[in-house]
Structure 1
Amino acid sequence: FAGVECAVNINECEEGPCKNGAVCEDGIADYICHCAPSQDGIIWGGKNCSVKLTGCQTHDCQNEALCIPTYQAESHGHLCQCQPGFYDATCSTPTTFSFASRGYLLIELPMNNQSRRDVAGDQLASVSLRFRTTLPSAILFYRGHEAEYLFLELFDGILHAGLKREDVGYTLLLEGLRVDDGQWHKVEVVLHSTVQLKLWHDSCDAGVCLQSSPVPHGTALIPHAFLNMYVGGAEDPMANNTRSQQGFVGCLEDFQVDAEAVLPVDLPVGESSPVKRGCDRTEWCLSQPCFHGGLCVDLWATFRCDCPRPYGGPACSYERPAATFGLENSTSFASFTLSDSLGPNFNISFFIRSRKPDGLLLQVSNETDPCLTIYLKNGKLKIEMVSTDTVTFPENLVDGRRHLVALSFQGGIVGAHQSDTYLELGQLIARPLLAGYEVYIGGHPNPDSTDMWGGYFKGCLQDIQLNSHQIQFFQVENYSLPQELNRTQNGNLVNGCISDNTCKSEPCQNGGRCIVTWNDFHCSCPANFTGKFCEERVWCESDPCPEATTCIDVLAGYVCLANATFNSYAAIEFTTNTSVTRTLSSLQVDFRTRDEDAVLLRAVEEVDSLQIAIKNSSLFVDIRSGNSIEGVSFLSQKSVTDGAWHTISVSMEEPSALSSRWLARLDGSVNMTLQGNAGNLDFLKNDALIVLAENFTGCLGQVKIGGIYLPFTAQLSYPQPEQFQQSSRRAVQLGCTGADVCASSPCLNAGTCEDLFNSFSCACGAGWGGLLCELNIDDCQSSPCVHGDCVDAVADFQCECFRGFIGKKCDINVDDCVRHQCLNGATCIDGVYGYSCKCPPQYSGPRCE
């Protein structure tokens, strides 16, 4: 200290005593040097960080331990910082041991542990360890006896610590952190003024998760009961104080009790001991030992397969056999007597595969009446206890696929379990199912008793379970299942899920090949036939249409379609044949034209009429039919005479009505409801003359009335009964061809000519405009040159820059300071085509000379 009153603390760091990058911390008449980390392998130490520490140049640290050099009393030395699993001054003693089976070790701690209170401060008791396991529930340690204890366990994969002292209990849980993942985890339980549970885990702040609870101040000494230390479990009745109540299977290491290490070399090993030195770990589930989608559960010392039904066995390789009922339409059933009562609450589950919509599945009866009946009706599963009450399983079960049905009966409430969800089906009057009752499956010995439930079941049943009892239809060799219920009587059951020979009747026609698909068949048809039985001919497969037309398959036949070109004098006429039976309630026409007035389609039959026309370049639709006086009409807002293709579709809103509104759709737009009402177009069946392309120049594409095509091809004989046939005999020009308006290459300057049917447009290249691309666009119009004059080019421009500017747009000021001649440290200031010099003090002149 210094100063008049000795109040000024002298800064001993002021003279920089710390060397080699060390940080100095001032003290009272002293200082501390915090040496810099190792640089280039050199570690500095000593009072001033001026001594090269050499204690680790030769050291005895083993097992990848970290050597930390020391320097005390001018003597070099080192400390070994052990890796997990090793202990002592040189880290040569292993600390890892394992429990291969459930058990425990009892360690009686010496009384002299109490003398270590001075070392541990106010710490009363502590246990720290590292562990790894895959078991969700197990005791890690238990200190004490039945009435006074401290323990740590795993319960459902999370850590749980319990303390009971002076008749007061404390519980600590590290919720949300599962540690049964087979990885190493470090944990510590400390008891002093609080009881603390610590887990070293990356998900927590600073890597340590902490739960604690205050403990009222008691004796400063370890309770005498805590000298009993159980490792890896506990004996009864102590284990009953825990939730898991079972021993640990897995590995432990770095186990310390009150700062004293528990070492494997001091533990009993051998056949009678559950402890083994080291940690042998087999990743059981890596080899995927469970078949058929079974879930492998790692039990550390072994594994378990949780099998999906209907599979079982240690590796889920055994499939519980299915039974086929009604093979080839035989009569099948099974029956047995209940050996035990099912009680008021019970479960019934089974797999079912069927295509027959009705039939008896299962019935439990006393001597006089059925008490529970499960049956199929119209493809749905019905559950009945008395004839007045029935509940229905919602899923369709007769689609030929295998379905799991899991039903629960709880106090009369019937529920179904589907894909981890529970669905309540309804409530029935609960009736007890007692021992001695008869169970019938698939039917009754007496056919009359089966008919009222839809007859005998046809299909497959598998893995039928009544509570934990399994119904076994057949004797199983080399495999036994607990609590099997063997059948007492059966008829015509077949082992396995077998299909009828559905191809025996040779159902496929026209050379089709029959393939059995469980209780059904599929016909692989020749290329020119289709349908369930290959009964429908695919006409277009044989390519029956003339060149330049497209074949379209229609019901019972085909049509050959092509666009057609019409001139104003060349109309075409159609009538129906006598076999059109469908209701004609829709109409479609594809067209392109530049005519401002023309008739696309027209038909009149007494008071009924139909017209689609172009009026003043707009599309006009008018329908007057049925008993409607007003009819319907439509006039488009937009022009349709631009030479592009357009499609008009109109249809009845209610096709079965005598008269209804009509909907119109132009070029894929949203349906528009037309004003008025009209009937259908069935008047066209009465040999009404349908006229197309009257005073029309342009093209027609697809024309359909009621879904029936009006083809433009020459007189062809089609096989289908429903047709519109040409009544006029003149030839129609197929294809859509207007004048060859692009033949003269009207577009200039590499413009592209686009045919718009008797008209054209030019798509101009960059820099050109005008109808024929004859105009060079003035690229200088936007004044792109910032400091210069613009000269137009083709799709481009050039700028003649003013002095001092450069760049495509003359927008970059030339840096005239690049070669400046300012003297005496002056600053150059750029200008436009020049620069100036900003002189330092004491200098002047243009160049500060």
Structure 2
Amino acid sequence: LENGGVAMDISKSLQISFMLRTRSLSGQIIYLKTPTSFLSVSLEDGLLVYEALINDNMKKQRTNLVVNDGVVRSVDINQNGLHIDGKLNANNLLLPLLVNTFGINDNLTLIIGQRSDQLPSFDGCLENIHIGITPPISFFVDGRAGNLLENTMHFKLMKRRNIIDNFCYADDLCGLVNPCKNDAVCRDLWNKRVCECQPGFTGTFCETRINRCENHICKFGACISGIDEYSCVCLPGYDGQFCDEEMNLCKLSPCLNGGNCTTAKGKYNCDCPPHFVGSRCQVLKSSKCLPSPCENGANCTVVKDTFKCDCPPGFDGILCDIQKDICQSNPCKNGATCLPKDGDFKCICTNGYEGRICEEMKDYCSTSPCVHGECITVTDNFLCNCESGWNGEHCDIDINECIRFPCEHDGNCTNTPGSYHCSCDSYHLGYY
């Protein structure tokens, strides 16, 4: 039943039993009434609720067992209370009075499913509905039951909508096209879908890459998130798993011609003797420009008994042999990490961003992947919010609404793209 129901006239003593299977939080299941009284069984927050009005005495009680877990449940209501799966779940002094109120001589009306002015309809499966001593209620329309009910006292269906006769139908939530992202496995658990994610992904549809760097810090470097682990790319002069170990750059004796080597902040510095210059004390001050002592494409100019280097952008020092810390100004955006590279810099972007300085949010919807729906960009993927009548990862699969028999009064249903059409008989009009 879904957004629909059936109505019948009955005249038997009260005892209600049925089998149900659902994942709905709320909805009307059974409504039994006389001109002055009623008995209702419904779902609220996944719990069965029964309420009654008898001789102006209103009573309502909730059960304590969650029944919207997709498990088949048996429900029995009689003068002793309400039983779920054979166990007493609710007892109330009002119930024995109901037997007398809804007696064998009363003219009662039974509505299964939706009351037009009250709760939404029950969405799920109902089977073996018994009222009193009558046979199970049939949802067959005239002519479809064959001779199954011939010569048997039974309830005649007066009106029905959105009811499927075969117990127990469930939507195929995994579908022909896997709605789960990133090679995840889709598990159909009867009107409930679970995506089993591959390592490194999370989210309802496994659409989000797990950020392994979130709780880890690379002290002097950039964190790179992998599938099951992370790694640190260290800045020059640092080492270790977390880039927290300063390398002994003086160990390799980089300073020439008697220069004194010291280290600080991942760099080494050479304190040169009076007649030598350069980052490693490698050039005599008295050198001329032939050959040029300047490095990294710098122009050399003779000045008296020495020379001068005009450094290109990104370099410093007497010989233009010292690379400036171009990352000091933190040019990378949106939490990206800056790494020096060949006189320039490189930005390691966080998930969902791109561009030279990670200034652009990736637009996974730019190709309009959702055929009949709205595209929503998530961390590093997209999701489609489908229009009514469509499903699938790209909202390109038409839902066959006629499976649920939405047309009333035996109207013929024709499925159309994204919708359906009811062909009514000569005595009825309307969309349904």
Report if TM-score (shorter chain) is over 0.5: no
TM-score between the two structures when normalised by the length of structure 1 = 0.23
TM-score between the two structures when normalised by the length of structure 2 = 0.43
If you compute each CA radius of gyration, which structure gives the higher value, 1 or 2? Answer: 1
